[in-house]
Chain A
Amino acid sequence: ILNVEQSPQSLHVQEGDSTNFTCSFPSSNFYALHWYRWETAKSPEALFVMTLNGDEKKKGRISATLNTKEGYSYLYIKGSQPEDSATYLCASAQSSTLGRLYFGRGTQLTVWP
């Protein structure tokens, strides 16, 4: 079992604040790092898949970075909005078990208007 850690476990911010969370994963046999956004009663939505060290991806106000050598990824949300409230999951894939994802527990973000 791969140990994928996410912090913080939960976060409460005011509308307009920028925020970031961390995902750490074992760097050995690294293949890909996935970020998902999971709103209550909906399907987890794939945000990013990153494979290369130094990768940066952006989708609107959300961006992510990847450091495969030290085994961490950051997810940033600029100018948080109430609709950003969700649980953000990261998952790591190893080269030895292609397709299989190891999930962290998620960061639950609440954005207050």
Chain B
Amino acid sequence: GAVVSQHPSRVICKSGTSVKIECRSLDFQATTMFWYRQFPKKSLMLMATSNEGSKATYEQGVEKDKFLINHASLTLSTLTVTSAHPEDSSFYICSAFRTSGDGTDTQYFGPGTRLTVL
């Protein structure tokens, strides 16, 4: 399988600060990457689709000014949680989308980032 890294794995910050999370596709170029958030005992919820060279597409209810996404290259997407508050504390995980052309397109995931806002 393909390798996707995510950094940092864990971050603790003060309320009001901004936090940037990086997602890198290490062995293939990803035009599309996805950002998910997981609440305790819930499924992975898609926050936004990150498209290289264009604006991200946000899911309903996700504030684009709060969660800034930049996909500046085919191997890197970043998620910045701006002016973080305790309610933003969560597990954030990214994936890189690899197309196959035969329907077996697959998302390869990073290991996730645990954000705690004090």
Which among A12-20, A69-77, A78-86, A95-103 touches the partner chain?
A95-103
A36 CA / B41 CA spacing, docked (Å): 17
Hey, what's the 0/1 contact readout for B70-97 against A, CB within 8 Å counting as 1?
0000000000000000000000010001
A91 to nearest B CB, angstroms? 8
Total number of residue pairs linking A and B with CB closer than 8 Å: 55
A34 CA / B95 CA spacing, docked (Å): 14
Contacting pair B111 A99 (CB below 8 A): no
Contacting pair A43 B44 (CB below 8 A): no
**Which residues from chain A contact B109 at a C-beta distance below 8 Å?**
36, 43-44
The bracket for how many chain A residues form the interface is 20 to 34
Contacting pair B1 A46 (CB below 8 A): yes
Is A89 part of the contact surface with B, judged by Cβ < 8 Å? yes
Contacting pair B97 A32 (CB below 8 A): no
Given A45-B1, A99-B49, A100-B49, is A31 in contact with B103 using a C-beta cutoff of 8 Å?
A: yes
**Which residues from chain A contact B104 at a C-beta distance below 8 Å?**
32, 49, 51
Contacting pair B111 A41 (CB below 8 A): yes
**Which residues from chain B contact A32 at a C-beta distance below 8 Å?**
103-105
Contacting pair B106 A89 (CB below 8 A): no
Is B54 part of the contact surface with A, judged by Cβ < 8 Å? no
Given A32-B103, A32-B105, A46-B108, is A99 in contact with B97 using a C-beta cutoff of 8 Å?
A: yes
A51 CA / B101 CA spacing, docked (Å): 12
A99 CA / B108 CA spacing, docked (Å): 12
Is A4 part of the contact surface with B, judged by Cβ < 8 Å? yes
Q: A32-B103, A51-B104 are in contact. List 11 more A-B contacts (CB 8 A).
A: A32-B104, A32-B105, A36-B109, A43-B6, A44-B93, A44-B109, A49-B106, A99-B49, A99-B105, A101-B46, A105-B41
B residues whose Cβ falls under 8 Å from a Cβ of A: 1, 4, 6, 32, 34, 41-46, 49, 93, 97, 103-112
13 A–B contacts, CB within 8 A, in A order: A32-B103, A36-B109, A43-B4, A46-B106, A49-B103, A89-B44, A91-B44, A99-B34, A99-B97, A99-B105, A101-B46, A103-B45, A104-B43
